[in-house]
Amino acid sequence: MGASLQRIGTWKKRLLLHFSACGAFARLPKMQLLKMGRPTILAIPLLLDAEQSGRQPAVHLLARQLQREFNTEEPIVYDTVQMYLKASPQRLDQALHYAGQHGYIYAVKLVRGAYIEQERPFGTIFDTKEDTDAAFETAAEKILQAIVTKRPSAALMLATHNRSSLFNAVQMMEKLGLARNDQRVHFAQILGMVDNLTYALGLAGYNASKLLVFGQIHEVLPWLLRRTRENRDAFGAQAHELPVLRNEIRRRLLGRLGRVPR
Ligand SMILES: Cc1cc2nc3c(=O)[nH]c(=O)nc-3n(C[C@H](O)[C@H](O)[C@H](O)COP(=O)(O)OP(=O)(O)OC[C@H]3O[C@@H](n4cnc5c(N)ncnc54)[C@H](O)[C@@H]3O)c2cc1C
Protein backbone atom coordinates (compact mmCIF):
# COMPACT_ATOMS: atom_id res chain seq x y z
CA MET A 1 0.00 0.00 0.00
CA GLY A 2 2.78 2.41 1.01
CA ALA A 3 4.71 1.67 -2.17
CA SER A 4 1.61 2.24 -4.32
CA LEU A 5 0.95 5.57 -2.66
CA GLN A 6 4.53 6.56 -3.23
CA ARG A 7 4.21 5.62 -6.92
CA ILE A 8 1.02 7.67 -7.25
CA GLY A 9 2.80 10.56 -5.56
CA THR A 10 5.67 10.39 -8.06
CA TRP A 11 3.23 10.16 -10.97
CA LYS A 12 1.28 13.12 -9.66
CA LYS A 13 4.44 15.15 -9.31
CA ARG A 14 5.32 14.44 -12.94
CA LEU A 15 1.86 15.21 -14.25
CA LEU A 16 1.47 18.17 -16.57
CA LEU A 17 -2.11 19.22 -17.17
CA HIS A 18 -3.09 20.34 -20.64
CA PHE A 19 -6.29 22.34 -20.97
CA SER A 20 -7.83 22.10 -24.40
CA ALA A 21 -11.25 22.48 -25.95
CA CYS A 22 -11.36 18.72 -26.42
CA GLY A 23 -11.91 16.14 -23.76
CA ALA A 24 -13.18 16.19 -20.25
CA PHE A 25 -11.04 19.10 -19.12
CA ALA A 26 -13.03 21.41 -21.38
CA ARG A 27 -16.02 20.88 -19.15
CA LEU A 28 -14.19 21.62 -15.92
CA PRO A 29 -14.98 25.02 -14.52
CA LYS A 30 -11.50 26.28 -15.34
CA MET A 31 -11.53 29.58 -13.51
CA GLN A 32 -13.01 27.95 -10.43
CA LEU A 33 -10.23 25.36 -10.40
CA LEU A 34 -7.61 28.05 -10.84
CA LYS A 35 -9.15 30.28 -8.18
CA MET A 36 -8.90 27.40 -5.77
CA GLY A 37 -5.17 27.59 -6.38
CA ARG A 38 -5.10 23.92 -7.39
CA PRO A 39 -2.06 24.14 -9.66
CA THR A 40 0.12 25.65 -6.98
CA ILE A 41 -1.18 23.44 -4.15
CA LEU A 42 -0.44 20.32 -6.20
CA ALA A 43 2.60 21.96 -7.83
CA ILE A 44 1.32 20.60 -11.14
CA PRO A 45 2.23 22.66 -14.18
CA LEU A 46 -0.82 23.67 -16.19
CA LEU A 47 -0.55 24.12 -19.95
CA LEU A 48 -3.16 26.14 -21.81
CA ASP A 49 -3.48 24.72 -25.32
CA ALA A 50 -3.61 26.98 -28.36
CA GLU A 51 -6.35 26.68 -30.96
CA GLN A 52 -7.58 28.70 -33.95
CA SER A 53 -5.98 32.15 -34.04
CA GLY A 54 -9.35 33.90 -33.62
CA ARG A 55 -9.61 32.53 -30.09
CA GLN A 56 -6.01 33.08 -29.14
CA PRO A 57 -5.96 36.74 -28.04
CA ALA A 58 -8.32 35.89 -25.18
CA VAL A 59 -6.34 32.80 -24.22
CA HIS A 60 -3.04 34.72 -24.24
CA LEU A 61 -4.59 37.40 -22.06
CA LEU A 62 -5.84 34.79 -19.61
CA ALA A 63 -2.42 33.11 -19.62
CA ARG A 64 -0.72 36.43 -18.91
CA GLN A 65 -2.96 37.12 -15.91
CA LEU A 66 -2.51 33.61 -14.53
CA GLN A 67 1.25 33.72 -15.01
CA ARG A 68 1.48 37.01 -13.14
CA GLU A 69 -0.35 35.38 -10.27
CA PHE A 70 1.16 31.89 -10.22
CA ASN A 71 4.59 32.07 -11.89
CA THR A 72 6.39 34.17 -9.32
CA GLU A 73 8.53 31.37 -7.83
CA GLU A 74 8.38 28.58 -10.41
CA PRO A 75 6.76 27.93 -13.80
CA ILE A 76 3.23 26.73 -13.04
CA VAL A 77 1.11 28.12 -15.87
CA TYR A 78 2.32 27.69 -19.48
CA ASP A 79 0.91 29.57 -22.45
CA THR A 80 1.15 27.96 -25.92
CA VAL A 81 2.57 29.80 -28.91
CA GLN A 82 2.05 28.43 -32.44
CA MET A 83 5.09 29.26 -34.53
CA TYR A 84 3.30 28.81 -37.88
CA LEU A 85 1.59 32.15 -37.19
CA LYS A 86 3.35 35.13 -38.75
CA ALA A 87 2.49 37.16 -35.65
CA SER A 88 4.12 34.74 -33.21
CA PRO A 89 7.76 35.93 -33.21
CA GLN A 90 6.61 39.41 -32.19
CA ARG A 91 4.12 38.01 -29.67
CA LEU A 92 6.90 36.00 -28.07
CA ASP A 93 9.18 39.05 -27.76
CA GLN A 94 6.38 41.06 -26.19
CA ALA A 95 5.45 38.28 -23.77
CA LEU A 96 9.07 37.90 -22.62
CA HIS A 97 9.42 41.65 -22.20
CA TYR A 98 6.15 41.96 -20.27
CA ALA A 99 7.09 39.10 -17.93
CA GLY A 100 10.45 40.76 -17.23
CA GLN A 101 8.76 44.08 -16.49
CA HIS A 102 6.27 42.51 -14.10
CA GLY A 103 8.66 40.10 -12.40
CA TYR A 104 7.27 36.68 -13.26
CA ILE A 105 8.51 33.62 -15.12
CA TYR A 106 7.33 33.43 -18.73
CA ALA A 107 6.55 29.77 -19.34
CA VAL A 108 5.67 28.72 -22.86
CA LYS A 109 4.82 25.57 -24.77
CA LEU A 110 6.17 26.01 -28.30
CA VAL A 111 4.38 24.19 -31.11
CA ARG A 112 4.33 24.63 -34.87
CA GLY A 113 0.50 24.70 -34.95
CA ALA A 114 -2.30 22.28 -35.69
CA TYR A 115 -4.95 24.23 -37.60
CA ILE A 116 -3.17 24.86 -40.86
CA GLU A 117 -6.18 24.12 -43.08
CA GLN A 118 -8.47 26.43 -41.12
CA GLU A 119 -5.88 29.20 -40.86
CA ARG A 120 -4.70 29.22 -44.47
CA PRO A 121 -7.64 31.27 -45.90
CA PHE A 122 -7.01 34.05 -43.35
CA GLY A 123 -3.38 34.49 -44.40
CA THR A 124 -2.26 34.17 -40.79
CA ILE A 125 0.34 31.44 -41.30
CA PHE A 126 3.75 31.48 -42.91
CA ASP A 127 3.79 30.77 -46.64
CA THR A 128 6.07 27.74 -46.45
CA LYS A 129 6.95 24.96 -44.06
CA GLU A 130 10.57 26.20 -44.16
CA ASP A 131 9.46 29.60 -42.81
CA THR A 132 7.55 27.90 -39.99
CA ASP A 133 10.58 25.72 -39.23
CA ALA A 134 12.87 28.75 -39.10
CA ALA A 135 10.46 30.63 -36.79
CA PHE A 136 10.18 27.59 -34.52
CA GLU A 137 13.94 27.11 -34.23
CA THR A 138 14.56 30.82 -33.58
CA ALA A 139 11.86 30.88 -30.91
CA ALA A 140 13.22 27.79 -29.14
CA GLU A 141 16.70 29.31 -29.12
CA LYS A 142 15.38 32.62 -27.82
CA ILE A 143 13.54 31.02 -24.90
CA LEU A 144 16.49 28.82 -23.99
CA GLN A 145 18.70 31.90 -23.97
CA ALA A 146 16.15 33.76 -21.85
CA ILE A 147 16.20 30.89 -19.35
CA VAL A 148 19.89 31.46 -18.84
CA THR A 149 20.10 35.23 -19.05
CA LYS A 150 16.79 36.66 -17.79
CA ARG A 151 15.84 37.32 -14.20
CA PRO A 152 13.14 36.23 -13.50
CA SER A 153 13.79 33.34 -15.79
CA ALA A 154 11.69 31.67 -18.45
CA ALA A 155 10.55 28.08 -19.00
CA LEU A 156 10.12 26.03 -22.16
CA MET A 157 8.02 23.04 -23.13
CA LEU A 158 9.17 22.05 -26.60
CA ALA A 159 6.21 20.11 -28.03
CA THR A 160 7.28 18.63 -31.33
CA HIS A 161 7.77 15.35 -33.16
CA ASN A 162 10.41 16.89 -35.37
CA ARG A 163 13.74 15.14 -34.85
CA SER A 164 15.86 18.11 -36.04
CA SER A 165 14.09 20.52 -33.70
CA LEU A 166 14.71 18.21 -30.76
CA PHE A 167 18.32 17.73 -31.77
CA ASN A 168 18.88 21.50 -32.14
CA ALA A 169 17.33 22.21 -28.74
CA VAL A 170 19.44 19.58 -27.04
CA GLN A 171 22.57 21.02 -28.64
CA MET A 172 21.60 24.55 -27.63
CA MET A 173 21.04 23.41 -24.03
CA GLU A 174 24.54 22.00 -23.97
CA LYS A 175 26.01 25.17 -25.48
CA LEU A 176 24.26 27.29 -22.85
CA GLY A 177 25.37 25.02 -20.02
CA LEU A 178 21.83 23.98 -19.08
CA ALA A 179 21.65 20.67 -17.20
CA ARG A 180 19.69 17.96 -19.01
CA ASN A 181 17.20 17.73 -16.15
CA ASP A 182 16.85 21.48 -15.64
CA GLN A 183 13.22 21.88 -14.57
CA ARG A 184 12.82 24.88 -16.85
CA VAL A 185 13.15 22.79 -20.00
CA HIS A 186 10.72 20.01 -20.97
CA PHE A 187 10.09 18.01 -24.13
CA ALA A 188 6.74 16.45 -25.06
CA GLN A 189 5.29 14.21 -27.73
CA ILE A 190 1.88 12.59 -28.12
CA LEU A 191 1.64 9.05 -26.75
CA GLY A 192 2.04 6.59 -29.64
CA MET A 193 3.87 9.09 -31.83
CA VAL A 194 7.68 9.07 -32.10
CA ASP A 195 7.84 7.20 -28.80
CA ASN A 196 11.40 6.23 -29.76
CA LEU A 197 12.44 9.91 -29.55
CA THR A 198 10.67 10.55 -26.23
CA TYR A 199 12.17 7.45 -24.67
CA ALA A 200 15.63 8.32 -25.98
CA LEU A 201 15.35 11.79 -24.46
CA GLY A 202 14.10 10.37 -21.17
CA LEU A 203 16.85 7.76 -21.02
CA ALA A 204 19.45 10.44 -21.69
CA GLY A 205 18.21 12.36 -18.64
CA TYR A 206 16.05 15.08 -20.24
CA ASN A 207 12.56 15.95 -18.95
CA ALA A 208 10.50 14.10 -21.55
CA SER A 209 6.72 13.64 -21.37
CA LYS A 210 4.03 11.94 -23.37
CA LEU A 211 0.75 13.72 -23.97
CA LEU A 212 -2.05 11.34 -22.98
CA VAL A 213 -5.47 12.27 -24.33
CA PHE A 214 -8.17 11.94 -21.69
CA GLY A 215 -11.91 11.93 -22.32
CA GLN A 216 -14.82 10.16 -24.00
CA ILE A 217 -13.92 8.19 -27.13
CA HIS A 218 -16.18 10.34 -29.36
CA GLU A 219 -14.42 13.45 -28.04
CA VAL A 220 -10.84 12.29 -28.31
CA LEU A 221 -10.97 10.31 -31.56
CA PRO A 222 -11.41 13.33 -33.88
CA TRP A 223 -8.53 15.01 -32.03
CA LEU A 224 -6.27 11.99 -32.52
CA LEU A 225 -7.26 11.65 -36.19
CA ARG A 226 -6.31 15.30 -36.78
CA ARG A 227 -2.97 14.68 -35.09
CA THR A 228 -2.22 11.61 -37.24
CA ARG A 229 -2.97 13.66 -40.39
CA GLU A 230 -0.68 16.53 -39.47
CA ASN A 231 2.05 14.17 -38.30
CA ARG A 232 2.43 12.32 -41.58
CA ASP A 233 5.97 13.70 -41.82
CA ALA A 234 6.87 12.27 -38.45
CA PHE A 235 5.46 8.87 -39.44
CA GLY A 236 7.46 9.12 -42.67
CA ALA A 237 10.60 9.71 -40.63
CA GLN A 238 9.73 6.70 -38.50
CA ALA A 239 9.60 4.56 -41.63
CA HIS A 240 13.33 5.22 -42.06
CA GLU A 241 13.79 3.88 -38.55
CA LEU A 242 12.03 0.59 -39.29
CA PRO A 243 15.28 -1.45 -39.16
CA VAL A 244 16.01 -0.03 -35.69
CA LEU A 245 12.49 -0.89 -34.52
CA ARG A 246 12.72 -4.40 -36.02
CA ASN A 247 15.99 -4.98 -34.19
CA GLU A 248 14.48 -3.81 -30.92
CA ILE A 249 11.47 -6.16 -31.30
CA ARG A 250 13.84 -9.02 -32.08
CA ARG A 251 16.02 -8.16 -29.08
CA ARG A 252 13.03 -8.18 -26.74
CA LEU A 253 11.55 -11.40 -28.15
CA LEU A 254 14.87 -13.21 -27.85
CA GLY A 255 15.24 -11.85 -24.34
CA ARG A 256 11.87 -13.38 -23.41
CA LEU A 257 12.94 -16.72 -24.82
CA GLY A 258 15.98 -16.55 -22.60
CA ARG A 259 18.41 -16.23 -25.51
CA VAL A 260 21.10 -13.61 -25.50
CA PRO A 261 20.44 -11.36 -28.50
CA ARG A 262 23.33 -10.71 -30.84
C1 LIG B 1 2.75 17.62 -26.73
C2 LIG B 1 2.10 18.35 -27.86
C3 LIG B 1 1.19 19.37 -27.59
C4 LIG B 1 0.60 20.09 -28.65
N5 LIG B 1 -0.27 21.11 -28.36
C6 LIG B 1 -0.75 21.87 -29.38
C7 LIG B 1 -1.53 23.03 -29.11
O8 LIG B 1 -1.82 23.37 -27.96
N9 LIG B 1 -1.98 23.77 -30.17
C10 LIG B 1 -1.67 23.43 -31.48
O11 LIG B 1 -2.08 24.17 -32.41
N12 LIG B 1 -0.94 22.34 -31.75
C13 LIG B 1 -0.48 21.55 -30.74
N14 LIG B 1 0.30 20.45 -31.03
C15 LIG B 1 0.45 20.03 -32.45
C16 LIG B 1 1.58 20.81 -33.13
O17 LIG B 1 1.20 22.15 -33.32
C18 LIG B 1 1.93 20.24 -34.53
O19 LIG B 1 0.79 20.28 -35.34
C20 LIG B 1 2.45 18.84 -34.54
O21 LIG B 1 3.25 18.59 -33.44
C22 LIG B 1 3.27 18.63 -35.84
O23 LIG B 1 4.38 19.52 -35.86
P24 LIG B 1 5.85 19.03 -35.49
O25 LIG B 1 6.65 20.17 -34.99
O26 LIG B 1 5.72 17.91 -34.52
O27 LIG B 1 6.42 18.37 -36.82
P28 LIG B 1 6.67 18.81 -38.31
O29 LIG B 1 6.21 17.64 -39.10
O30 LIG B 1 8.06 19.27 -38.50
O31 LIG B 1 5.74 20.04 -38.64
C32 LIG B 1 4.44 19.94 -39.14
C33 LIG B 1 3.84 21.31 -38.90
O34 LIG B 1 4.52 22.30 -39.71
C35 LIG B 1 3.62 23.31 -40.09
N36 LIG B 1 3.51 23.32 -41.55
C37 LIG B 1 3.39 22.25 -42.38
N38 LIG B 1 3.29 22.63 -43.67
C39 LIG B 1 3.38 23.98 -43.67
C40 LIG B 1 3.33 24.98 -44.72
N41 LIG B 1 3.19 24.62 -46.00
N42 LIG B 1 3.42 26.27 -44.36
C43 LIG B 1 3.57 26.64 -43.05
N44 LIG B 1 3.62 25.76 -42.03
C45 LIG B 1 3.52 24.45 -42.33
C46 LIG B 1 2.27 22.95 -39.45
O47 LIG B 1 2.21 23.61 -38.22
C48 LIG B 1 2.37 21.43 -39.27
O49 LIG B 1 1.52 20.95 -38.23
C50 LIG B 1 0.91 19.76 -30.00
C51 LIG B 1 1.85 18.74 -30.26
C52 LIG B 1 2.45 18.07 -29.22
C53 LIG B 1 3.45 17.01 -29.54
Cβ 160 under 6 angstroms from ligand 1: yes
Average pLDDT, the chain: 83
Q: Return the ligand 1 atom nearest residue 128 CA.
A: 42
Q: Please provide the size of the chain in residues.
A: 262
pLDDT in tens, 120-148: 999 999 999 999 999 999 999 999 999 99
**Does the CB atom of residue 161 touch ligand 1 within 6 A?**
yes
Distance from C-alpha of 100 to C-alpha of 149, rounded to nearest angstrom: 11
Encode burial over 25-57: b for 16+ CB neighbours within 10 A, e otherwise: beeeeeeeebeeeebbeeeebbbbbbbebeebe
End-to-end CA gap in the chain:
40
Q: Which domains does the chain have, with CATH numbers?
A: 2-215 (3.20.20.220)
pLDDT in tens, 46-81: 899 999 999 999 999 999 999 999 999 999 999 999
Q: What is the DSSP string of 93-161?
A: HHHHHHHHHHT--EEEEEE--S-HHHHGGGT-B-SSHHHHHHHHHHHHHHHHHHHHH-SS-EEEEEE--
Instruction: Check pLDDT > 60 for residue 84.
Output: yes
With a 6 A CB cut-off, is 84 part of the ligand 1 pocket? yes
**Cβ–ligand 1 contact at 128 (below 6 Å):** yes
C-alpha span between 154 and 133 (Å, rounded): 22
Among residues 34, 151, 46, the alpha carbon closest in space to that of 109 is found at 46
Smallest CA separation from ligand 1 atom 33, residue: 112
CA of 114 to the centre of ligand 1 (A): 5
Candidate from 27-31, 75-79, 167-171, 215-219 with smallest mean pLDDT: 27-31
pTM value is 0.83
Q: How does pLDDT run across 176-195, given as a tens digit for each residue?
A: 999 999 999 999 999 888 88
In the prediction, which pLDDT does 19 show? Answer: 52
Please state which of the ranges 16-25, 175-184, 249-258 shows the lowest mean pLDDT: 16-25
Tell the residue nearest (CA) to atom 3 of ligand 1: 159
- pLDDT tens by residue, 194-205: 888 999 999 999
129 lines ligand 1 (CB under 6 A): yes
